[in-house]
Amino acid sequence: MPPSLQTPPDLLHGLGVPVSAGVPLAPRTWYRTGGNAALYVQPQSPDQLAAVLERCAQRGVPFFVLGAGANLLVADAGVDGVVLRLDADAFKQVAIDPEARRVIAGAGVDLFKLVPATAKAGLDGLVQVAGIPASVGGAVRMNAGGAPGDVSRGITRVRVMEANGAVHDLPRSAIHFGYRHTDLATPLILETQWQLDAGDPAELTNLYRTLYARKRDSQPMGDKSAGCCFRNPPAQGPGSADGATAGMLIDRAGLKGFRVGGAQVSPLHANFVTAAPGSTTADVLSVMDHVEEAVERTSGVRLQREVVLWGV
């Protein structure tokens, strides 16, 4: 563990929760860059999770929730605190009820698997997020989506845990889902329920394959990245760009292929900053800094980052 990490290694002693110190986060994120988690914790139940949060609060140690790591950039120096991974069975339960048109999925469920399963069950509403790498918790937190739709469609309730361990079911009306954003004030999503529309399983499965293929053909899905690095500017008002997307502005600034170390603005999709094996988070951040400055200079728009930075 780098000396700058202050999290006490014995923080969670006696709780019976699986804990490892100094765990590399790079293999647990899509970017494959960055340093270690001071403590990497895999609670086996909501009760264990609540006990971890209580201990963190008592000792003033910050915690971070890791989903599939598909929208994360971790500092090269690592993350000083507790990194929580909800990958135990208790957080990966799925119930798909075609009759009731209802889907309930735990925060640790892989969206890659959930989405085709809903299509196969003849349920329409989630298929629109085909091909987006995410856990259910991370997808709902970010309101993951794209032109065909986003994950918020059909959500009826979200089960959350507060920092004090209290669990609540929030109705949809209590949550605002915006562009790649939710206003959830609670730090942890435990489970989400959707009420979807009825559809034809074969047609939905075809739609799933079409949307997935379209994404694969237009985005560098095989490279290491966090998807779109920057948010699209608003259509109107301050910071708008006459309908141009962030990718268009980056392309117009002539930045496709711009590189620092192993990090590069993707030649295929200008809003993806990819990282070749051996890259550092510092490389990726240098590319992002340059893109922000160059786009502001050429178009007057200051791009906002979509990727979540930990410890940077």
**Residues at the interface with ligand FAD (CB under 6 A):** 30, 64-72, 86, 107, 132-135, 137-139, 141-142, 144-146, 180, 188-189, 221, 225-227, 308
> To the nearest whole angstrom, how small is the minimum distance from the Cβ of residue 98 to ligand FAD?
25
Interatomic CA distance for residues 187 and 36, integer angstroms: 21
Among candidate residues 64, 48, 68, the one with its CA nearest the CA of residue 7? 64
Interatomic CA distance for residues 112 and 105, integer angstroms: 13
Q: Give the dihedral sign, CA 203/191/184/110.
A: negative
* Residue number, 254 or 267, with CB nearest to ligand FAD: 267
Give the H/E segment covering residue 112.
helix 111-120
* Residue number, 153 or 180, with CB nearest to ligand FAD: 180
Interatomic CA distance for residues 307 and 24, integer angstroms: 19
Torsion of CA 154, 156, 158, 159, to 10 degrees: -140
* Residue number, 223 or 296, with CB nearest to ligand FAD: 223
Q: Report CA-CA distances (Å) from 273 to 20, 180, 239, 290.
A: 31, 18, 22, 11
* Residue number, 122 or 151, with CB nearest to ligand FAD: 151
Write the burial class of residue 69 (CB in 10 Å: 0-12 exposed, 13-18 middle, 19+ buried): buried
> To the nearest whole angstrom, how small is the minimum distance from the Cβ of residue 138 to ligand FAD?
2
Both tokens of residue 3? 């000396």
Distance of CA 307 to the CA centre of its chain: 8
* Residue number, 122 or 137, with CB nearest to ligand FAD: 137
User: If you search the block for the tokens 């259910």, which residue do you land on?
Assistant: 136
* Residue number, 122 or 266, with CB nearest to ligand FAD: 266
> To the nearest whole angstrom, how small is the minimum distance from the Cβ of residue 197 to ligand FAD?
21
> To the nearest whole angstrom, how small is the minimum distance from the Cβ of residue 233 to ligand FAD?
16
> To the nearest whole angstrom, how small is the minimum distance from the Cβ of residue 182 to ligand FAD?
9
> To the nearest whole angstrom, how small is the minimum distance from the Cβ of residue 46 to ligand FAD?
12
* Residue number, 12 or 134, with CB nearest to ligand FAD: 134
Interatomic CA distance for residues 228 and 289, integer angstroms: 15
> To the nearest whole angstrom, how small is the minimum distance from the Cβ of residue 310 to ligand FAD?
8
> To the nearest whole angstrom, how small is the minimum distance from the Cβ of residue 248 to ligand FAD?
16
* Residue number, 122 or 155, with CB nearest to ligand FAD: 155
Q: Give the dihedral sign, CA 122/124/130/134.
A: negative
- For residues 30 and 70, the answer to whether their CB atoms sit within 8 Å is yes
